Amino acid sequence: MDSPPPLSAIKDAKVLMVGAGGIGCELLKTLALSGFPDIHIIDMDTIEVSNLNRQFLFRQKHVGQSKAKVAREAVLRFRPNISITPYHANVKDPDFNVDFFKQFSVVLNGLDNLDARRHVNRLCLAADVPLVESGTTGFLGQVTVHLKGKTECYECQPKPAPKSYPVCTITSTPSKFVHCIVWAKDLLFAKLFGDKAQDNDLNVRSGNASTSDHTEDVFERRKDEDIEEYGRRIYDHVFGYNIEVALANEETWKNRSKPRPIYSKDVLPERLIKQNGNMDSASATDNPSSVSAMASLGMKNPQEIWSLMENSKIFLEALKLFFGKRGKEVGNLSFDKDDQLAVEFVTSAANIRASSFGISLHSLFESKGIAGNIVHAVATTNAIIAGLIVIEAIKVLQKDARSYRMTYCLEHPSKKMLLMPVEPYEPNKSCYVCSETPLSLEINTHRSTLREFVDKIVKAKLGMNLPLIMHGSALLYEVGDDLEEDMVTNYAANLEKVLSELPSPVTSGTLLTVEDLQQELTCNISIKHRSLTLCLCLCLCLCLSLSLSLSVHRDVWWWDFC
């Protein structure tokens, strides 16, 4: 395939692409056809069947293989004279440090998650390498340019938090199908197949308070208990008994439609349940990712809405397959939208609960989109965005700062345009990432532990991977493979202490320094003690129990671990 000679600005360019998915496939093709001679790709994912409708470099035979490696092979077939280096790895791995980033002329992002985007942004700032960021959602898309000291960084403006729902709605009074999905995914799936020691709102005890059975945890499988009996017991408890308990509170249902308890014997005659349990699974394979309750039951159409009976069969079959075929994973699983069996289980559980509460049922295809917060990709949008990324990358290499644009791809015309270019914004002077502005945190120092501070703020909110926390010259916490054993023990002990009782106490007025050596990012956090009222604490607990969040008021953050 012939093409015009490359622009002089890109002849010696060395480009890093992060992500080889929907945008990444289009981007790699466009870079190759534009004459970029040296391209490096980082992507940790393997190819899924669901990728094939838009990630055109992949074929059915590539399912299960590395996206980065297969993308390289596909492009070299029509551009054999360029250099493409693939890395089947996580961009957050220690190998991809600041020195690694410094070797590139420009970094181009085609990522699909906030955490990785923040990490790449920080490494680009530390390495002083230009970053072209991108994203698509259905027909919408955007491309932004980030240069240290000249334009705002990726984190200069707060990003919208994922949608969360009040815990009381999820556990007691669902009114939308998404409420049932969240319940099935974050509560039931996590309780059955995730960390058993982790509390969640399904830690419900069975039986009557006056009996010894009250202490039994129904989610614990009894010794020598048949998997079918266990599955029916779980089914009857969460869809039957728990609903009856909820109905006992008549005040709740004065202005709401009452749910109906559903028991397995009312949906599936016992002989059908036994027949289902004795079926020879169609997923007899050594590959856990190919295990499927649908295949086991001979159901093929993911866009069909299952009946209550079919959902019940899928529920029991999926539970059986998890314990029978993937037993080694049980106890360590978290929901993954690309895990077929997990999606089947969550879909069936959500539909049974929806049936109980009079909510319309949904297909597996629809449920997967809701559970994975998926807006289905549009290949054309990805192609447009990839072209815009390359245009901005060329401007960066030509050092044509006046021409840089943030460009938005719109679903409907605005001012007769579907592509809306905007001049990049200047750096936000209050951004703690690129301006080193101190942060203020209001927190209950007498109740909040160092572990909560590390997990909920330093890691979850500040996005640090390998944090080091200092109070003056005192080192309160550090992680790393090269630590002495006594230091590891000391830091582990500190994690369980409340802030005000640390060896170097953290109280109102304390200035903490938090560093991430991998990202070469340092933040100073000014601590102010704040005791919230009991009423406010209870409200916070209720609102944050499913999705903890940090309220931001200008540069002041507050947090109370109730």
Reported confidence tier of residue 323, pLDDT bands at 50, 70, 90: very high
Structure tokens at 352: 């049974």
Which tens digit of pLDDT belongs to each residue from 6-26?
577 898 899 999 999 999 999
Count of alpha carbons within 13 Å of 63, Cβ hemisphere only?
12
CB atoms within 10 A of CB 234: 21
Q: Which residues are catalytic?
A: 168
CA–CA distances in Å: residue 244 to residues 172, 176, 251, 357, 486:
11, 20, 14, 12, 53
Q: What is the mean pLDDT of the chain?
A: 85
How many whole angstroms separate alpha carbon 276 and alpha carbon 70? 40
DSSP string, 268-324: S-HHHHHHHHHS--TT-SS-GGG--HHHHHT---TTSPPPHHHHHHHHHHHHHHHHH
Unique residue bearing structure tokens 């334009």:
151
Which tens digit of pLDDT belongs to each residue from 437-477?
889 999 999 999 999 999 999 998 899 988 999 999 999 99
Closest CA to 144 of 439, 448, 408: 408
Assigned superfamily of 439-561:
Ubiquitin-like 2 activating enzyme e1b. Chain:  B, domain 3 (3.10.290.20)
User: Which residues make up the CATH 3.40.50.720 domain(s) of the chain?
Assistant: 8-161+376-422
List the single range of 82-86, 103-107, 537-541 with lowest mean pLDDT. 537-541
Strand duo 14-18 + 38-42: pairing: parallel
CA–CA distances in Å: residue 537 to residues 166, 249, 500:
15, 25, 19
Which tens digit of pLDDT belongs to each residue from 327-383?
889 888 989 888 899 999 999 999 999 999 999 999 999 999 888 876 778 899 999
226 compared with 531, residue with greater pLDDT: 226
CATH 1.10.12.10 fits 167-371, yes or no: no
**Do the beta carbons of residue 41 and residue 87 sit within 8 Å?**
yes
Which CATH number applies to 8-161+376-422: 3.30.360.10, 3.40.50.2000, 3.40.50.720, 3.40.47.10?
Answer: 3.40.50.720
Look up residue 352 and give its DSSP letter: H
